Amino acid sequence: MNKALFLDRDGTITLDHGYAHKPEQIELIPGAADALRRARELGYLLFLFTNQSGVGRGMFTLEDVHACNAHMLELLGLGDDLFADLCIAPEHPDEDSLYRKPSPRFIHEMTAAHALDPAQCAMVGDRTSDWEAGVNAGIRPIAVRTGKDFGESATVFIEKNAVAVFDDLSAFVATLS
Ligand SMILES: [Mg+2]
């Protein structure tokens, strides 16, 4: 059985500039590249799991998202195959969606496809929808403080669901073995 990290993009790996859609808007959060390298060394499969409702809202296209992801990979410098797979959920929040977080569907599909052990998997993100996807999928929800400040409802969710909170991705990965 394999272990894995599911990672949100904006506010977790990259700075959340709000609907970033041009490669030049992509900036890594300090320490993110080292954290991902370390997680990979420890044997974790890495999956990118990002809601991109800007596509569904007509603000930018899926091609723009791909270009941003490609630039993020270039900045990370850990190879184009860093992520075992990636999920981009482009829907508007009001649309029906199979994959948009907090849906656990992507995590479930990857668990089956890559023989993942849910007990050794985590969903890392800066928003309630990230943690909720983890809870819904039966894997550990991890909160990082590198996105927007947690509001009241996020704080309530964290307490109610025993979400572990870290300053950033590096601090979380430092706890892994
Ligand atoms: Mg985020």
* pLDDT (0 to 100) of residue 24: 95
Token output for 175: 């706890």
How high is the pLDDT of residue 123? 98
Q: How far is the CA of 164 from the centre of ligand 1 (A)?
A: 16
Look at residue 146 in the predicted model and tell me its pLDDT. 98
- Which sequence positions are flagged as catalytic? 8, 10
> Do the beta carbons of residue 163 and residue 157 sit within 8 Å?
yes
Average pLDDT over residues 131-154: 97
Please, are residues 116 and 45 in contact by the beta-carbon 8 Å criterion? yes
pLDDT higher than threshold 90 for residue 96: no
The per-residue pLDDT for range 33-81, each reduced to its tens digit, is 999 999 999 999 999 999 999 999 999 999 999 999 999 999 999 999 9
CA of 146 to the centre of ligand 1 (A): 9
Query: What 3-state DSSP class applies to 34?
Result: helix
Which two structure tokens, joined as six digits, stand for 137? 């999928």
Q: What percent of the chain has pLDDT over 90?
A: 97
pLDDT band at 125; cut points 50, 70, 90: very high
Q: What local confidence, expressed as pLDDT, does residue 4 receive? A: 98
What letter does residue 150 receive in the DSSP assignment?
Answer: P
Cα–ligand 1 centroid distance for 117 (angstroms): 24
Classified by CATH at the fold level, domain 2-173 comes out as: Rossmann fold (3.40.50)
Structure confidence at residue 44 (pLDDT): 98
Using the predicted structure, report yes or no on whether residue 138 has a pLDDT greater than 90.
Answer: yes
Instruction: Please check whether residue 85 is in contact with residue 148, taking contact to mean a CB–CB distance below 8 angstroms.
Output: no
- Identify the helix (H) or strand (E) that includes residue 75: helix 62-76
Compute the distance between CA of residue 109 and CA of residue 105 in angstroms, rounded to an integer. 6
pLDDT beyond 90 at 159: yes
CA gap 119, 138 in Å, rounded = 8
Rounded (5°) CA angle 144-145-149: 135
Average pLDDT, the chain: 97
Cα Rg for the chain, rounded, in angstroms? 15
How many angstroms is it from 10 CA to the middle of ligand 1?
A: 4
